[in-house]
A and B are shown apart, each in its own frame.
Chain A
Amino acid sequence: MNFDGKIIVVTGSSRGIGAAIAKAFASEGATVIVNYVQNASAANGIVTACKEAGGDAIAIQADVTSGEQIQALVDQTLMDFAKIDVVVNNAFKPYTFDPDNRKQFADLDWQDYQGQLDGALFSTYTMCQTVLPALKKRTQGSIINIASDLVARPTIPYHDYTTAKSALIGFSRNLAAELGPLGIRVNCVAPGLVYPTDASRQTKERIKEMIIAQTPMRRIASPEDVTGPVMFLASDWSRFMTGQTLYVDGGLVMK
């Protein structure tokens, strides 16, 4: 896959899945906007890795839940690169995946849901609103939103997190329907448990073993496993796909 000359924005890409996606695009020649909130040195490390991989990259700090900061990110990207080809909405609100100490429904208040909706949905909504004029002007572009396979199979019922990711899929399908006539595609990638990432570092071996046992491919995903489907959806190879969700979990969910 050749991403020479393509400008790719990946939110939350200083670490974890986002970092893996950024590096993977760069290794195919892309220019990546490495977005981060706090860890500038991690982001700069990814920028260096992207350049070493054969692409180009810059790091831009922006909190994806701030409309102003997202606008600044898009403006700077357009200023430096004159266009945007692909947006990967990967950032999400920190969440602790701890099956043994998760909140049960009775313990959840609406603020928990609201927080996750803000992290997953509001951020993606904001980014899409901000970036769309630039994509529409070119009548092309690919938006990829990172969901979770928990929406199809809540192995552990992380109510607030998974509800927000479910909403993200519904959001993506509606956007896909509206943007299809403008040549812009919107799709989701829904990974299973990805290890190691900061979010999954605390996940107990017992849980991992449980998931592995139920996964046809008998292991859990690495960040690198997620990059292929994301790049596929970013590329012309999927040019006639929109509104889809690709599950990347070794076959745990089949649909």
Chain B
Amino acid sequence: MTEAQIVEALLDFIATDGASDDEFNALALQIFAYQFENNAPYQRFCRQRERTPRTAQNWRDIPAVPINGYKDLTLSCCDPKNAERTFMTSGTTKDGVRGKCHHPTLSVYDTSMVTAFRQRFMQEHNKLRMGILFPTEETMPNSSLAHYLALALSEFGTEGSCYLLSENGLDSDLLFAELDRAEKTGEPYALLGASFSFVHVMDEMERLGKIVSLPEGSRILDTGGFKGQSRELELNAFYDLLESRLGVPRKQCINMYGMTELSTEFYDWGNPTCPSVKSGPHWIRSQIVNPLTGEELPKGDKGVLAHCDLAHFNCVSSILTEDAGIEVDNGFLLLGRAEGAEAKGCSMAVDEFLKAAQG
């Protein structure tokens, strides 16, 4: 298949109401064959894993690239020079090298985002007045999240929706003006942004002793999580705070789970309890696997999340994340970043060594 054919097939696939196992498999295997043929580093990776399109029968057979692979390999079917947009991973790991995801066209990414966002976040609304707690796409052209939020604003935001982050950080005046306006007019309001930005908002409101009660129908979308000691406790405290400070019930606080290495996002149905059950649309499927064997674990066992995102057609669809999870009915629980083992013996572990060697 050509790129154009893949794009067309994907747009059709996303436009349908759902997909059977066979339908998902069929397109997954076609896209795998396309990536295998057009992406030499990925082909080498698959050969090392002793898998070729000929021997893959099922989407589960498609070799999942560890997300670190993006830092070492150029995973793109198209010539990166011809990409419409390149998103880069955050450079927090491994020598500060940032992985690159090239998109020859954003049409699939955008359709994927818009379709799922409508179902999972907008729900009964066609448009909402929005405030974005994240830099603009112009400020961060290589951020997939910046693009995602810009798209949310342009597709689903009413006139008057705006960014609440300026170059100097949180624009509190504007934020509180917006919140007060919503409270007064009774027009439902949506706040979207990175989880840590909400923490700043909460801190600022606490400092000022400010509490608002957003009108019914208002909602919050946070993403990215934050560093914490005990994640579960932190999450509960976080959503309690959002509910008490902003008056948005935890049920209307949606957490989005996405990453640069995907073109599709997962959502929960609110966070009355944490961790919430996450799920994605019909063009992405997930497994909980043993990271070493790649074998799928029995439902209820803790493992590492692997995703097969058909919409991420130009790079690799199947990735092995570093996120721990557990499969449950209708989705999975996200348990944060998979931690390494605490050294049990007196033999040095890689992480410790690197840390010590770098002084």
Determine whether A and B are in direct contact in the complex, meaning some CB atoms lie less than 8 angstroms apart: yes
Binding site for B on A (CB under 8 A): 5, 7, 31, 56, 79-83
Ordered by A's residue number, 13 sampled pairs between the chains whose C-beta atoms are within 8 Å are A5-B55, A31-B55, A56-B54, A79-B52, A80-B52, A80-B54, A81-B52, A82-B46, A82-B50, A82-B51, A82-B52, A82-B55, A83-B50
Q: How far is the CB of B64 from chain A (nearest CB, A)?
A: 16
Which of A5, A31, A80, A82 has the most CB atoms of chain B within a 10 A radius of its CB? A82
CB B22 to nearest CB in A, in angstroms, measures 18
- Chain B residue contacts of A79, Cβ below 8 A: 52
Docked pose: A82 CA to B56 CA in angstroms: 12
Q: Contacts of A56 on B, CB cut-off 8 Å?
A: 54-55
For B55, what are the chain A residues with a Cβ–Cβ distance below 8 Å?
Answer: 5, 7, 31, 56, 81-82
Q: Is B47 an interface residue (CB 8 A)?
A: yes
Residues of B with C-beta under 8 A to A80: 52, 54
Interface 1/0s, chain B 143-175, versus A by CB < 8 A? 000000000000000000000000000000000
**What are the 8 tightest A-B residue pairs by CB atom distance, in nearest-first order?**
A83-B50, A82-B50, A82-B47, A80-B54, A82-B52, A81-B55, A81-B52, A81-B54
B38-76 residues at the A interface, CB under 8 angstroms: 46-47, 49-52, 54-55
Write the chain B residue with the least CB distance to A138. Answer: B50
Query: Which of under 10, 10 to 19, 20 to 34, or 35 or more describes the interface residues of B?
Result: under 10
Total A-B contacts with CB atoms under 8 angstroms apart:
20
List the interface of chain B (C-beta within 8 A of A): 46-47, 49-52, 54-55
Residue of B nearest to A79 (CB): B52
Cα-based distance from A138 to B195 in the complex (angstroms): 46
Instruction: Name the CB-closest residue of B to A7.
Output: B55
Instruction: Report the minimal beta-carbon distance from A224 to chain B, rounded to whole angstroms.
Output: 27
Given A79-B52, A80-B52, 18 extra CB contacts under 8 A: A5-B55, A7-B55, A31-B54, A31-B55, A56-B54, A56-B55, A80-B54, A81-B52, A81-B54, A81-B55, A82-B46, A82-B47, A82-B49, A82-B50, A82-B51, A82-B52, A82-B55, A83-B50
Least CB distance from B340 to A in Å reads: 28
A78 and chain B: residue at smallest CB distance: B47
Closest CB-CB distance, B321 to chain A, in whole Å?
Answer: 24
Closest chain B residue, CB of each to CB of A31:
B55
Interchain CA distance A82-B52 in the complex, whole Å: 7
Residues in chain B near residue A83, CB distance under 8 A: 50
- Which residue of chain A has its CB nearest to the CB of B52? A82
User: Which chain A positions have C-beta within 8 A of B50?
Assistant: 82-83
Q: Give chain B residues whose Cβ lies under 8 Å from the Cβ of A81.
A: 52, 54-55
Q: Please measure, in the bound complex, the distance between the C-alpha atom of A51 and the C-alpha atom of B54, giving whole angstroms.
A: 13
Q: Which residue of B lies closest to A4 (CB)?
A: B57
Residues of B within 8 A of A31 (CB): 54-55
In angstroms, Cα B50 to Cα A83, docked, is 6
Minimum CB–CB distance from A3 to chain B (whole Å) comes to 13
Q: Which residues of A contact B49 (CB under 8 A)?
A: 82
Which partner residue on chain B sits nearest A83 by CB separation? B50
The distance in angstroms between the C-alpha atoms of A56 and B56, with both chains bound, is 12
